[in-house]
Amino acid sequence: MALLSSNLLFPLLMSSLDWLSTPGNGFFMARHDVTSPAPLEPHITECMSRDQVTFQCWWSPGNFHNLSSPGALRLFYIKIESPPSEWKECPEYVHSNRECFFDTDHTSIWVTYCTQLRALNNITYYNEEDCFRVENIVRPDPPVSLNWTLLNISRSGLNYDVMVNWEAPPSADVNTGWMRIEYEIQYTATNSTKWEAVEMQTQTQRTIYGLRTGTEYELHIRSRMPGFVRFGEFSDSIFIHVVKAPVKESTFPLTLVLVFGITGIIILVMTVVVFLQERLMMILLPPVPAPKIKGIDPELLKKGKLDELNFILSGGGIGSLPTYATDFYQDEPWVEFIEVDAEDAGTGEKEDTQRLLDVSQPVGHHMNTGFSNAVSFPDNDSGRASSYDPDLPDQDALLLMATLLPGQPEDGETSPEVVKTAPAPERLLIRTQTAGPQTWIHTDFYAQVSNVMPTGGVVLSPGQQLRSQESTSGTEEGTQKGKEHKGSEDSEEEKEKEEQFQLLVVDPEGGRQASESDAPQMFAPPSSPMPGEGYQTIPPQLAETQPAARAGDNQSPYILPDPPQSQVFARVADYTVVQELNSQHSLLLNPPPRESPPACRPQHPLKALPAMPVGYITPDLLGSLSP
Amino acid sequence: MINILFHLFFPTALRPVSCVWVVWVCLFFCNRLTMVGAAPICANAQAGQLCHVLSLANLFDRVIQHSARTHGISNNLHTEFEQYFLPSKNHIGRVSRNCHTSSILTPNGKDNAQRMTREELTEVILKLLLAWRDPLWHFHQSMAHHHDFNKFSSNKTLEMSNMVHELHRGVEKVAEKMQVLGIISNTVSNLASPEALLASDSSEWRLMRNYDLLYCFRRDSNKVQNYLKILKCRIVPEHGC
C-alpha cells in the first residue's frame, strides 16, 4: 500500500515540479508535439519572441530534480550560418525563471538557432527538433487600450451595435514596418461558455453587430503576425453591457395624438350620423321600389288582395278609375292624365294601331305632359332613387313612346312624316305639329315591336288585328286567323314564332284604364310555338306582305299602317294569359281560339285563377303553372 | 512592360475588372501628381504611349501585398511538404545545408535593416527575387512529375513561381519609379550584378533537395516582405505604417 501511495505521489510530485519549473511561461506545449508526454530529461520548454528583436528560451530540468537548482543546467546555442559557428552559451540568464534571454546583438532573424542544455558534468541534453528561426517564434503582445463605444440601438431596443477600439502593442514596431500584426477578437455572453471569434484583421477597430441588450458580454483580443501561426496572449477582458432604456417619452406624444385623433373621428362620425340621418339612410339604404300601378293604392298590391285589385283594374268600384286616380294623385300637380275619348272606343274606323303608329298625328298637349309623366315616372316611393334617368331619353326612345301611346288624332292625318322632336328643355318631349287638342281615340295601347333597325329605330308590326275590347274574359281572341294566314303566307319565312312580347307603357292615366275597361286587346297566342325559342318578332316583311297598301316607309323607323284600310288581320290582344309552359319552358300564351278551338288546350293552369277580365297574374300564381 | 505590370498587380481572376480599374486609377491619380514629388511625370514616355501614373505609395502597396501572398503560399507548401514527405521531422539534416541565397548579404535584424540605405535595401530585394526565379521554376517542374503530390499543391508551385517572377518585375518597376522621382540614386540600375548572377547561375540550388528549397524560400520570401515594408515606411510612411 505504501508502494501504491508512493506510486501515486511520485507522478503528482513530478507534475507539480514541472509546473513550478516554468512559472513565467504560460505555454506548456512543446513546439512540435503537444501530445507526446513530457520528456523526463531536461529540455527546453519554449522559446519565444515578442518583438522580433529579442527572444527568450525557457527550460525545465524534467525529472532530474538534482539539476533544478539554478546554474545546474546551462543553455547553449548555435547559429547555423554560412561561416559555420560554434556553440555559445546563453548571453543572459534569468535563473529565477529558468530563462535565457537573447538581446538584440545576439538575435538574428532569418537564421536558424539550435539550443541545448548541458549539465555541469558536460552531459548534454539535446533535442534535434529544438531548432528554430526567430521570425517563426514571434508571439506579439496583446493590444492595449481596448475600449468600446455604443454605436446605435435598434428601434425595438433589443439589439445594439458597438465599436471596439484598441491600439497595437507598444512592443511591436509597426511604424517602421518591421512587424505587421493582425488581430483576433473573441467575445462571449458572460453566462455562456462559447466564445465567438471575429475574423482576423489588421485594422485597429471593429464594429460588432447584433448584441442583445440586457446581456453582459466579455471581450478580449489577441495578436499574431500574418503568415505565421503563433498567437500572442489574450488581452484583459472588457465587459460590454447595455441596459434597455425605457423609451416612454418618445412614444408619449404619439399615443396622445392617436387618442385625440380617434376621439375626433368618432365625434365627427357621430355628428354626421345624427344630423344627416335621413340623407344617410337614403344613401345607404335606398328605398326599394314597391310594386306600383298608377292609380292603384299600393296597399292593394300586397299579397292577398287580389280580388280588390282585379275589381279596380276591371274598372269597377267607385267610379271610373281615372277619377279615382285623379283623386289619388290630387296633390301631385305634375300628374296629368291623358284623356281618352271614350266615344271612339270601339270604333274600328281607325284602328288603334294606326293611330298608335301614326306619329305624324299631333299629339295633344296632354300627351306632352302625359309623356312627361310617362317618361318621368316621378313617383316618390317608386324606385326613383334608382338609376332611372328620366330627363333625357334619346330620340329614338321618344319616337317609340310616341308610337306606343294612343291618341291618334281623329282627323286621321297620316302624314308620314316622322315627328322629330328636339329635345325639350324640360320634360316635354314631343311636340307635334298639329294644333288643337286631340282627343284620344281609343286605340290599342300596344303594338308589337317587330324589329329593331340598325339605326336604332323600331319597327312595329301593325299587322295584328287590334281587337276592340269587348272580350272581358281573360282569354282572348287573339285570333290570329289573319295572323295565321300571314303566318302561312310567310311560312317560308322563318319567323313564325308568334310568341309576342308585350311592350308595356305604364300610363298614369285613365286612358289606359279605359282601354282596359274595353277589354284589352291581346295578341294572338302562338299557334305553333317554336321550340326552344322565346319571344320572337315578326319581321317587317311580314307586315309588308299584308294586303292592302301598307305605307311602309322604310326611312321612318316604324311602319305606318295604311289608314283607310281595314285590317283584316287577326286581332292582337293587349294581354295574353300565360297558359302554360311548354317543354322548352317557353310561355305559351292563349292559343288561337277560332281555328282550333282550344278545347284540348288544357286550362288547368287557370283553374286556380278567379275569373279575371284581364290577364293579370301574380307571381305566386305563376309558380303554379306547369309545363 | 505594361502587360507585365498588369499581370503583376492583378491576379488572374480579376483581370476583366482590373482593366476598368486600371483606367480609373490612371485618371484618378493623374490629378494627384503633386503628392509624389517634383519630378516630371512620364519623362521618358514616347509619343502615343499610355503613361501609367500610379502613385508610389500605391505601387508599394501592391508589391507588398504580392509579397505577402507569396510568403503565404510558400508557408502552405512548406507545411504540406513536411506532412507528405518528411514525417520523421528530422530537422538537423535539413537545416545543415545552407540556402543558395546565403551568399547575398542581407540585414538580419531590425537595426541592420534600418541602417541600410534605400538603394542597398532595394538592391537586396532585387537580388533575392532574381535568385529565386529559376529555382522555383525548376522546383515546379520537378514537382509536377511527382504523382504523389496532389494537384492542388502542384498548382501552388506554379503559382509561386509565377508570383516571384511578377514580384521581381514589380520591384523593378518600383525601383525605376523611385529613381525617376529622385528618391534613390541611379546606382540600383545594375540589376544584373555579379552576385545575383552567380546566385542564379550557381548550381547550388540544383543540389538542394526540394524540401530545402521550400525551407529556404519560405525564409527568403519573408525577408523580401519585411524589406519592402521597411522601405515603404521609410519612403512613403503616410499610408498605413
Choose between A131 and A301: higher pLDDT: A131
Instruction: Kindly state the percentage of chain B with pLDDT values over 70.
Output: 61
B184/B186 Cα distance (integer angstroms):
7
Q: Is B234 on the interface with A (CB under 8 A)?
A: yes
pLDDT at A3: 52
Among A294-298, A618-622, B27-31, B163-167, the range of highest mean pLDDT: B163-167
pLDDT at A318: 55
pLDDT at A505: 41
DSSP string across A346-385: T--SS-HHHHHH-TTSPPPHHHHHHHHHHHH---SSSGGG
pLDDT at B14: 58
Lowest-confidence range among A37-51, A138-152, A225-239, A420-434? A420-434
Query: Which of A32, A112, A136, A182 would best serve as a mutation to test chain B binding (most B beta carbons within 10 A)?
Result: A112
- Chain A: give the shortest CA distance to residue B47, in Å: 39
pLDDT at A145: 93
pLDDT at A58: 92
Choose between A396 and B163: higher pLDDT: B163
pLDDT at A445: 66
Q: Which of A110, A114, A175 lies at the smallest CB-CB distance from B108? A: A110
pLDDT at A69: 84
Is the pLDDT at A182 greater than 70, yes or no? yes
Q: What average pLDDT does the segment B188-198 reach? A: 55
Q: What average pLDDT does the segment A364-379 reach? A: 43
Element (H, E) at A577: none
pLDDT at B141: 83
Is the pLDDT at A433 greater than 50, yes or no? no
Nearest to A136 by CA among B48, B74, B25: B74
Among A78-82, A436-440, B70-74, the range of highest mean pLDDT: B70-74
Average pLDDT, chain A: 66
> Measured in whole angstroms, how far is the alpha carbon of residue B139 from the centre of its chain?
17
Q: What is the edge-to-edge ordering of all strands in the sheet holding A55-60? A: A43-48, A55-60, A99-102, A93-94
- Chain B: give the shortest CA distance to residue A186, in Å: 24
> Measured in whole angstroms, how far is the alpha carbon of residue A386 from the centre of its chain?
28
Element (H, E) at B166: helix B151-181
| Contact criterion met (CB < 8 Å) for B110 and A52 | yes
pLDDT at B78: 86
Q: Which of B108, B111, B232 lies at the smallest CB-CB distance from A111? A: B108
| Phi, psi at A101, each rounded to 5° | -105, 130
pLDDT at A376: 42
pLDDT at A270: 93
Which residues from chain B sit within 8 angstroms of residue A53, using beta carbons? 109-110
The DSSP symbol for A203 reads: S
Which residues from chain A sit within 8 angstroms of residue B88, using beta carbons? none
In this prediction, residue A584 has a pLDDT band, given cuts at 50, 70 and 90, of confident
Q: What average pLDDT does the segment B24-33 reach? A: 61
pLDDT at B52: 41
pLDDT tens by residue, A252-280: 778 899 999 999 999 999 998 888 888 87
Instruction: Kindly state the percentage of chain A with pLDDT values over 70.
Output: 44
Contact A407, A364 (CB under 8 A): yes
| Contact criterion met (CB < 8 Å) for A108 and B219 | no
Q: What average pLDDT does the segment A301-321 reach? A: 66
Which residues from chain A sit within 8 angstroms of residue B95, using beta carbons? 80, 112, 114, 131
Among A530-534, A615-619, B83-87, the range of highest mean pLDDT: B83-87
| Contact criterion met (CB < 8 Å) for A178 and B230 | yes
Is the pLDDT at B4 greater than 80, yes or no? no
Choose between A534 and A130: higher pLDDT: A130
- Chain B: give the shortest CA distance to residue A152, in Å: 28
A371/A363 Cα distance (integer angstroms):
10
Contacts of A441 (CB under 8 A, 6+ apart): A340, A341, A344, A345, A347, A350, A352, A355, A406, A407, A408, A410
Residues 144-183 on A with a CB inside 8 Å of B are: 173-178, 180
Helix, strand or coil, per DSSP, at residue B224: helix
Query: Within a 13 Å sphere around the CA of A227, how many CA atoms are in the beta-carbon half?
Result: 24
Q: Is the overall model pTM greater than 0.90, yes or no?
A: no
In this prediction, residue A387 has a pLDDT band, given cuts at 50, 70 and 90, of very low
In this prediction, residue A146 has a pLDDT band, given cuts at 50, 70 and 90, of very high
- Chain B: give the shortest CA distance to residue A142, in Å: 18
In this prediction, residue A124 has a pLDDT band, given cuts at 50, 70 and 90, of confident
pLDDT at B77: 87
Q: What average pLDDT does the segment A503-531 reach? A: 43
- Chain B: give the shortest CA distance to residue A60, in Å: 22
Contact A360, A419 (CB under 8 A): yes
Helix, strand or coil, per DSSP, at residue A507: coil
In this prediction, residue B81 has a pLDDT band, given cuts at 50, 70 and 90, of confident
pLDDT at A123: 81
| Contact criterion met (CB < 8 Å) for B229 and A178 | yes
In this prediction, residue A502 has a pLDDT band, given cuts at 50, 70 and 90, of very low
Query: Within a 13 Å sphere around the CA of B77, how many CA atoms are in the beta-carbon half?
Result: 33
Choose between A430 and A398: higher pLDDT: A398
Q: What average pLDDT does the segment B206-217 reach? A: 78
**E strands, A474-569, where?**
none
